[in-house]
Structure 1
Amino acid sequence: MKKSLLIALITASSTWAMAQVTFPVNGVNDKRPDLYAFTHATIVVNAETVLQNATLIVRDKKIEAIGPNVAIPKGAVVADLQGKYIYPALIDAYSAYGLPEVKATARNFRGNPQFLSNKKGAYNWNEAIVPEFSAERTFQVDEKKANELRKLGFGAVNVVNKDGIARGTSVFVNLAAGKENEVIVKDKSSSNYSFNKGTSTQDYPSSLMGCIALLRQTNYDARWYKTNEGKVEYNISLDELNKQQAIPQLFEVDNDLDLLRADKLGDEFGIQYIFKSAGDEYKRLDYVKATNGSLIVPVNFPKAFDVEDQYDALQISLAQLKNWELAPTNPGQLEKAGIKFAITAGDGQDFWDNIRKAIEYGLTEKQALKALTETPAELLRVSDKVGSLKTGMYANFIISSGNLFKKDNLILENWSQGQRLVINDASLADVRGVYELKIDGMQPVKLTASGNSPFAAEWSVQLDTVKGKVTSTRLNDMLTLSFSLKNLTQGAVSLSGYVANRQPAQLKGTAVLPNGNSVNWVADWKEAGKENGKKEAEKADQNLGKVTYPFVAFGWSEQPKAEKVLIKNATVWTNEKEGKLENTDVLIDGGKIIQVGKNLSAVGAKVVDGTGKHLTPGIIDEHSHIAITRGVNEGTQAVTSEVRIGDALNSEDINIYRQLAGGVTSSHLLHGSANPIGGQSQLIKLRWGKAPEELKFEGSDGFIKFALGENVKQANWGENQRYRFPQTRMGVEQVMTDAFQRAKEYQKLNEAAAKAKNGLSPRRDLELDALVEILNKKRFITCHSYVQSEINMLMHVADSMGFKVNTFTHILEGYKVADKMKAHGAAGSTFSDWWAYKMEVKDAIPYNGAIMHNVGLLTAFNSDDAEMARRLNQEAAKAVKYGNVSEEEALMFVTLNPAKMLHVDNEVGSVKVGKDADLVLWSNHPLSIYAKAEKTFVDGIAYFDIEKDKQMQQEVKTERARLIQKMIEAKSKGAKTQKPSSEIAFDYHCDSDYHFGGNEGDAEYNFQYRLDHSENQH
């Protein structure tokens, strides 16, 4: 390389000052012309275009010319880059560079609640909604961090505030030194969102569904504000949110399912988000592609777990093991799927190692470059300024020793906005190799310099078979080495010297011996080291496990499909007027029950021998909390009817599979009992392996959870929780009355506005929308209840306000008020024999269900418990023991009766032609403790099969063993490892998790937890 690159550029770039148009200079303004010519380089213009032996001209921050036959302007500083490459500098579309660190707020859940924002000014009522935040106003140049990013090859970043739900706007900046006004490329480059409330100390929201509800309401509020601007309140936050709708909308998600949730929310408002993802999209690739969203993908692949201790290995779930193996395939799979994505450096650790690993696992080099340059520029609408090398664009480029993605490549220089940073000085002599080291008066030894860089980070010495490590430092061609060898010296030898010759390399200088004497030394190059040879790189292991649906133990490698199935000669419990039919056949096809009768036949049907077995409708759990993620309660306000369990479904919950094994086919997922009017519930079918939206029971009526009693008045919340109204059972009545009074007034306001057509539209209130639906018989109440006085109270409120209570759940004093419930038209879904677990349950009796049934109430048994739901058939049997309910009627307590309560009895709950094929084949009498569910069908699909389950158990053990061995091998080869840590999942109950904060780790008390070792607990 010519001296022009080494001397002229160093001189020019170390003294030049960037243009400071509006800032005065105290002294002499030394502003020299910034004109550079880079010649004879291989220039990668973009992922599609490569120029050989080309020239790049840079003048005043910008590219002036580029091409193979470009004339060099007079006065240009010339750098000959023969054999070197020029690439566009990389772009990170999601960085916190230049912003203050977001420090987690220690929320004192046992302290006093905070209902409203503490932020002063005309801002949004909730601290987690901060669209007014502007990164351009907060951003500060940080040369140290900028240089860290530039050493990785980045020349520009999108600076994002990573705090809050609506996070405000980001700013796009170059990573050059100078004042903030000099490096900002684009203000308001994106509007940013998440499902994490961040540092907000406000109680609401305390759950994932609350975060989603808040963002949904905020979007409606912004539209209302825009329509009525100047006619209503002045709100800085809503005004700013409206102004941001025309710029890229960027949503950070924590996992693949959150991505689908965010996309669904965006679809509701016609917003197409760009998703900053978690890097696990391969788990639901087809669903991710269907969002039509572009991604910003991290490459911080998980480290192998240190699992040499078998007990440590037990702490890790199969999902964690599989993710370690498959995460590096994510970028390549996105490319093959045709999904547009950029790559973000994240924390920058092992960035290039992980990029190269992604390439080994299927990502092409062309796509890798595109994802690091052109795509982020396109997503942020700055592709006219950065992302490729074209005339008029910023001089953001990197000079490398070779192909950017090869392991032995070195990034030599990074130019951002025409400003140079030397990363690896190309003029340094490459001293890697094997030498003969001769120190005066001592026996010659073998000296080896190795590593991927000419800086020769690793040195070693050897005499005979004895080896020793060498401590080294290097400054340009000056170096110091220090070592000791037991068979050579009785202490450390210190060498100081320089590179005396380059080809062949020779090092020489002065040595200080252990006795303090100084002598001369010389090291003569003998041969190349192993690292300098053409060692073939290890190929990525192609023996990879399969993605399963869901991505946990007992997931399907291929989704099961509905088949034509003929179940022969079973005892069929129809729950219809035909009653129990012996030696009967049932034909299912297309997800429906086609025929019920004797001696049936069907061409092409799979025949299942039901001899000695019992076939029943699938069990329906009227009160469940499975398959919900990150909070079952939004108990931060007395009325939270705006939140929706359907927003927070967890399709990966192993309880879905476990309950299928207990014959459950549908579950009614309820909000908890932390407030009088809770959130909207969600009826699901247990379609194991389907995505969250596909679990939902199509066309079913909407329900909502109400609650009464100790939980609602916060009797068991701790002494500091004495601020949220209500604090008494009397207050609960007032909350109910007030809420419905407000709903009636809200409905009248909307009706009046629709007639007036005066241009002033009422604000849409999602909380009141749900209550209006109740008044209009479009949404139905399931109420958590215990004490007869409160049951009577709510029925009185309902009668006076013009609505009905559909179902009283728990209802352990239902036997006291069954006649009044019947007159009101309410049903009762109760426990079989729970009692005395808190004061308001002291009057519970095991005859409750039978008494309500005998009075003529529609009666069911529910679980409210993930474990109990696996044996609801046995709970139903208790109605026979306590109260002499007939066996067929007792089975209806967990099948047809809950179907009627949930208004889906026209589709499920009995074995009838035309109904959904939600069926269970039992090995024994279905009310027997010895009965096992051998096959559980949902929509005619056998989502559980006891024989298939045995096979899957062995497959899980085999797969775990393979992955554990693979991790052990990876560690033995030097792979970085992490300490095993268990994934904690939550089995929710009504009173679980009052205070949450949006992340499961924030849950402080009042929850049950389990280690999600599904494969170990099955």
Structure 2
Amino acid sequence: MKLKLLACFLFLAATQLQAQEYFPKNDGVKSRNTNYTVFKNAKIHVNPASVIQNGMFAIQNGKITAVGKNISVPANSVLIDLKGKEVYPSFIDLYSDFGIPKPERAESSSDQPQYDAGREGYYWNDHIRAETDAVAEFKYNQEEASKLHKAGFGVVNTHVPDGIIRGTGTLATLNPEGTEGDRIIKEYSAQYLSFEKSVQSRQSYPTSIMGAMALLRQVYLDADWYAGGNADNTDLALEALNNNKNLVQIFATDNLLDEFRADKIGDEFGIQYVILGSGNEFERLDKVKSSGATYIVPLNFPDAYDVENPFMAEHVSLEDMKHWNQAPANLKMLAEKKVPFTLTTHGLDAEKDFHKNLLKAIEYGLKKEDALAALTTVPAKVIGQEGKLGEIKEGAWANFIITSGDYFDKESSLYENWVQGKRAIIEDMGTTPITGKYDLKLNGNSYTLNITGEPTEPKAEVKLGDTKIGSKLSFEDNWMNLLLSSPDTTKTEFIRLVANIPSETNTISGKAILPDGKETSFTAEKSSAEKNSEEDKKEDKNHPEVLPVSFPNKAYGFSELPKRQDVLFRNATVWTGEAEGTLQNTDVLVKDGKIAKIGKDLNVGRAKVIDATGKHLTAGIVDEHSHLASSAINESGQNSSAEVSMEDVVDPTDIGIYYDLAGGVTSMQILHGSANPIGGRSAIVKLKWGEDAEDMIYNNSPKFIKFALGENVKQSNWGSNVRFPQTRMGVEQVFTDYFSRAKAYEEAKANGGDDFRKDIEMETLVEILNGERFVTSHSYIQSEINMLMKVAENFGFNINTFTHILEGYKVADKMKEHGVGGSTFSDWWAYKYEVNDAIPYNAAIMHSQGITVAINSDDAEMSRRLNQEAAKSVKYGGLSEEEAWKFVTLNPAKLLHIDDRVGSIKAGKDADLVLWNNHPLSIYAKPEKTMIEGVVYFDIERDKQMRKQIEQQRNELIGQMLEAKNEGVITQPVTKKEETHIHCNTLEEIH
């Protein structure tokens, strides 16, 4: 009974104590500590540009109250002597998810895609989560905070890393003793974005990077429209987006091309993003600089590959090898280019890797002042906390670290990390640091002793001459015990060394007990800079030689981008593609990137002369249907993706560009895939190898879009029975429905005024209705070809091109009447059911009916030999060589509405030319030079030189990796990467 009463009493007492927490404290009852803490004799790094030697500073109530050479010490002060130690501002990480629970992945009992949103009262797409507030999720995590303390961090800008628009971050300190209220400096500090979908929804759209970009554009348009009070219903996501628009906007990316894509979106809507980079910014420094963005850069360097097995080493690309070699120099290059950047622990084990990788960046040339700025003043400025964070100055938060010496010296230790005046102890400041290199004198022998590691857990490496001696080191309470193996390797004997380490000494001396039990003394004197041997100096430069960046930064890239030049091709066989036909022994003058003159014995002027005797000069090949040079092919999340654009995802680094140049291709249409009836908008590009994506896209490019018919769009092979359409008649209904909506949209727009909601998808379809955008349609079966022409005619427009169209020979007369062209394969058939009726005479039959016919590739390998594909129409159909050649030059240029610029050799056209060593329709023909606008992007002689250079660079980098492995660095295994073979039906999924 007594026990029960006691338990009840304790329960009531605890309940009362908890209840009391809800009432305000009386300051008159509870005293408040108003003492100052004063630090003296420290080397104070006030900011990256200012240092006070033997300085002092005082803190009270979490803030710095005074800093200087000498400050007055208040009567109620606690004094801490930091003689021989250094003080830096604590670091700031702008990209963190510290204290945020991991978002739970949405689960479903169905394996079918989800097309509609799963939330009511929010935006129509679940991946737009602007209403998310990190401050509501934030909960301090002591274990994770300790890791960040050890890396020197005192403040994090944390957020929920989930979704395309992720909502607001919160700026929080890592105060080890405070409350959540104390730690939150700024509740709503930034808005975060990415190209990644939310894991909390299974909604399919978007499935691609171009879909994510289109979605962002539409969201911004809708947010402006919503802000005008035009919506009938409340949309909490759009309201939040508008409320957050004045915050810092931080955009997360994971590769260099996506960094530029994010910046592109920002530029379109007048938003300057802060960009979480990839560490590859060095590959395009000028473009990075021109973005105007501040970059948050991870210190996540790639490991060397284990290339000991020469057969496996062949599977490592030069691109990956160069990345390993160059990435540690990224920060140095950014600083030299004066690109503002901050550093983040994102992607790292902060405790283990951050400081190590930071020192590596410094070894590769990053200045310490720039490193400190990237950790302190730059992020403070970005987040609007100048003078409050990132500096040791009066009025700033008392956030600082205490180190044994230069923080950027590998032998220094971090002792304490103070955040808002609260101390987190990392190492005991009473421990004397013993790291460094010593000359050890023992029993008549001279050893080299190298002590590394943390002050309380040092590691020793001992050498006698060049011979490594086994050793084991322990260090506790400033007593060192070192066990050495005997120099006589034939004996299992040990020498024991023991010494008490005085503070601030460069000499260790103590007692040694030899294997026979006799005692003697030893001394170990720390090596000075002047005493370093040549070997030590070599070790100081602890990184391999950095290879120069090329454009693109992979095999066959240019060390410098090629320049336009005036050229005279002398005495060539010229395939004009015009009424003049093929001209023998003729000159062609290229001037200012254009074809200036065609004739015999032309005046050279200042042009470079190329002897083309016995060679053939043609216009560059134009591929009407390609999926090369793109980071995405299909946006399959909806049955219409007219809002997406292939121009957003042009990949200028695709090695297929170089291979195509080597096959004489100079222009191509990069088409959306065939996942849906109404696909995305095209990109018409010139294959300017080494240039940026924007420089590849045609100026004033004709507007095209991809439609598709047949098996792919009705998902015959996907296993999905959810998304409409599922039948060929359903495909027709999609076109009818969408164009009916587009007509209604255009009518509403004309009457809507400023209140009208702009829809990018509908805008695109209206362009088709008005003849401002041309349709290229994936097609096979004659019934569907007829169907689409009728649908188009019913809505008052024409289909521009049927691509593939392997049954075009069946409906050539109707195609002619409609005015549509055909771009087909030369002799592909029977690779799926709907192409069973394909014949190799298809192109010739369509041509005979007066249709503009092209041969396309739709295939990275075929694109390199379109000249041979054109030649097949001489065999299958009896075409003349000149007409067959037009199938891959002038005719596709006509279909793409660029024949006024390319496709034939005519004065005034772009100098997109190919010099062949043989008849261009021959299987033996090779391009010797491929020129675009007067710039030679492929030269067969340069190609030969590049092959040798590639081999030399590979051998050099393999040697560097082997040396790195021998030095004990971590390596990664080589895995064979399979090249993705991209076609119309290639699907991707962003995460």
- CA drift of 1:319 comes to 1.0
State whether residues 451 and 531 of structure 1, in contact with CA within 8 Å, keep that contact through their aligned partners in structure 2.
no
- CA drift of 1:494 comes to 14
Residue 276 of structure 2 corresponds to 276
Which amino acid is 2:46 matched to?
V
Distance in structure 1 (CA, Å) of the matches to 2:861 and 2:60? 71
Q: Secondary structure at the match of 1:350?
A: helix
Distance in structure 1 (CA, Å) of the matches to 2:594 and 2:275? 39
Moved more, 318-327 or 452-461: 452-461
Distance in structure 2 (CA, Å) of the matches to 1:104 and 1:599? 73
Residue 546 of structure 1 corresponds to 548
- CA drift of 1:988 comes to 1.3
After superposition, where does 1:724-873 map in structure 2 within 5 Å? 724-754=723-753, 761-873=755-867
- Residue by residue, what CA displacement relative to the aligned partner does 1:245-295 show, whole Å, maximum 9, x if unpaired? 101111112222211111111111011111110111110000111111111
Pairing partner for 2:573 from 571, 574, 577: 571
Distance in structure 2 (CA, Å) of the matches to 1:163 and 1:611? 63
Pairing partner for 1:559 from 551, 561, 583: 561
Residue 928 of structure 1 corresponds to 922
Which amino acid is 1:710 matched to?
E
- Residue by residue, what CA displacement relative to the aligned partner does 1:467-503 show, whole Å, maximum 9, x if unpaired? 444374x554578888998999999999999949777
Moved more, 692-701 or 446-455: 446-455
- CA drift of 1:429 comes to 3.8
State whether residues 449 and 529 of structure 1, in contact with CA within 8 Å, keep that contact through their aligned partners in structure 2.
no
After superposition, where does 1:390-401 map in structure 2 within 5 Å? 390-401=393-404
1:36 aligns with 2:32: no
Query: Unmatched 5+ residue regions in structure 1?
Result: 1-19, 439-443, 514-518, 1000-1018
Distance in structure 2 (CA, Å) of the matches to 1:317 and 1:458? 37
1:408 aligns with 2:411: yes
- Residue by residue, what CA displacement relative to the aligned partner does 1:206-262 show, whole Å, maximum 9, x if unpaired? 111111111111111111111225x42211111111111101111112222211111
State whether residues 434 and 525 of structure 1, in contact with CA within 8 Å, keep that contact through their aligned partners in structure 2.
no
1:595 aligns with 2:626: no
Change (3 A) 1:453 1:634: closer
Distance in structure 1 (CA, Å) of the matches to 2:449 and 2:552? 51
Distance in structure 2 (CA, Å) of the matches to 1:853 and 1:186? 69
- Residue by residue, what CA displacement relative to the aligned partner does 1:583-619 show, whole Å, maximum 9, x if unpaired? 1110001110000001112212111111111111111
- Residue by residue, what CA displacement relative to the aligned partner does 1:502-554 show, whole Å, maximum 9, x if unpaired? 7776779999x9xxxxx999995522366998664612557432111111100
State whether residues 666 and 685 of structure 1, in contact with CA within 8 Å, keep that contact through their aligned partners in structure 2.
yes
Pairing partner for 2:909 from 893, 906, 915: 915
- Residue by residue, what CA displacement relative to the aligned partner does 1:796-827 show, whole Å, maximum 9, x if unpaired? 11111112100001111111111111111111
1:979 aligns with 2:973: yes
Residue 722 of structure 1 corresponds to 721
TM-score, length of structure 2 as denominator length: 0.91
- CA drift of 1:563 comes to 0.8
After superposition, where does 1:2-81 map in structure 2 within 5 Å? 31-81=32-82
Distance in structure 2 (CA, Å) of the matches to 1:80 and 1:415? 15
Q: Secondary structure at the match of 2:639?
A: coil
Pairing partner for 2:389 from 383, 386, 389: 386
- CA drift of 1:661 comes to 0.7
Pairing partner for 1:966 from 941, 960, 966: 960
Change (3 A) 1:437 1:238: same
- CA drift of 1:25 comes to 11
Moved more, 45-54 or 857-866: 45-54
Q: Secondary structure at the match of 1:323?
A: helix
Which amino acid is 1:395 matched to?
A
Residue 255 of structure 1 corresponds to 255
Distance in structure 2 (CA, Å) of the matches to 1:981 and 1:186? 45
Identity %: 47
Change (3 A) 1:886 1:466: closer
1:618 aligns with 2:620: yes
Residue 155 of structure 2 corresponds to 156
Distance in structure 2 (CA, Å) of the matches to 1:564 and 1:189? 55
- CA drift of 1:848 comes to 0.7
Residue 678 of structure 1 corresponds to 679
Supply the RMSD in Å over aligned alpha carbons.
Answer: 3.2
Query: Unmatched 5+ residue regions in structure 2?
Result: 1-20
State whether residues 253 and 277 of structure 1, in contact with CA within 8 Å, keep that contact through their aligned partners in structure 2.
yes
Residue 138 of structure 1 corresponds to 137
Change (3 A) 1:489 1:830: closer
Change (3 A) 1:103 1:286: farther
Q: Secondary structure at the match of 1:873?
A: helix
Which amino acid is 1:123 matched to?
Y
Pairing partner for 2:372 from 364, 369, 393: 369
- CA drift of 1:128 comes to 1.8
Pairing partner for 2:944 from 950, 953, 957: 950
Residue 998 of structure 1 corresponds to 990
Distance in structure 1 (CA, Å) of the matches to 2:519 and 2:625? 83
- Residue by residue, what CA displacement relative to the aligned partner does 1:896-920 show, whole Å, maximum 9, x if unpaired? 1111111111111110000001111
Which amino acid is 2:144 matched to?
K
Which amino acid is 2:925 matched to?
A
Distance in structure 1 (CA, Å) of the matches to 2:712 and 2:108? 22
Change (3 A) 1:958 1:96: same
Residue 340 of structure 1 corresponds to 340
- CA drift of 1:434 comes to 8.1
State whether residues 482 and 492 of structure 1, in contact with CA within 8 Å, keep that contact through their aligned partners in structure 2.
no
Distance in structure 1 (CA, Å) of the matches to 2:73 and 2:495? 49
After superposition, where does 1:519-530 map in structure 2 within 5 Å? 526-528=523-525
Distance in structure 2 (CA, Å) of the matches to 1:798 and 1:847? 27
Distance in structure 1 (CA, Å) of the matches to 2:250 and 2:974? 33
TM-score, length of structure 1 as denominator length: 0.89
Distance in structure 1 (CA, Å) of the matches to 2:817 and 2:361? 67
State whether residues 661 and 944 of structure 1, in contact with CA within 8 Å, keep that contact through their aligned partners in structure 2.
yes
Change (3 A) 1:69 1:766: same
Which amino acid is 2:600 matched to?
K
Which amino acid is 1:611 matched to?
T
Which amino acid is 1:561 matched to?
K
State whether residues 512 and 520 of structure 2, in contact with CA within 8 Å, keep that contact through their aligned partners in structure 1.
no
Which amino acid is 1:526 matched to?
T
Distance in structure 1 (CA, Å) of the matches to 2:108 and 2:302? 29
- Residue by residue, what CA displacement relative to the aligned partner does 1:413-460 show, whole Å, maximum 9, x if unpaired? 11111011222222124566688999xxxxx99997822544352257
After superposition, where does 1:474-493 map in structure 2 within 5 Å? 475-477=476-478
| Count of residues paired in the alignment | 956
Distance in structure 2 (CA, Å) of the matches to 1:425 and 1:984? 52
Q: Secondary structure at the match of 2:157?
A: strand
Change (3 A) 1:895 1:488: closer
- CA drift of 1:33 comes to 3.1
Q: Secondary structure at the match of 1:926?
A: coil
After superposition, where does 1:290-301 map in structure 2 within 5 Å? 290-301=290-301
Residue 1006 of structure 1 corresponds to none
Distance in structure 2 (CA, Å) of the matches to 1:909 and 1:116? 45
State whether residues 431 and 456 of structure 1, in contact with CA within 8 Å, keep that contact through their aligned partners in structure 2.
no
Which amino acid is 2:721 matched to?
R
Distance in structure 2 (CA, Å) of the matches to 1:524 and 1:33? 52
- Residue by residue, what CA displacement relative to the aligned partner does 1:991-1014 show, whole Å, maximum 9, x if unpaired? 112xx2226xxxxxxxxxxxxxxx
Q: Secondary structure at the match of 2:94?
A: strand
After superposition, where does 1:51-450 map in structure 2 within 5 Å? 51-101=52-102, 111-118=111-118, 120-177=119-176, 178-199=178-199, 200-228=201-229, 231-346=231-346, 347=348, 348=350, 349-430=352-433, 450=451
Residue 1009 of structure 1 corresponds to none
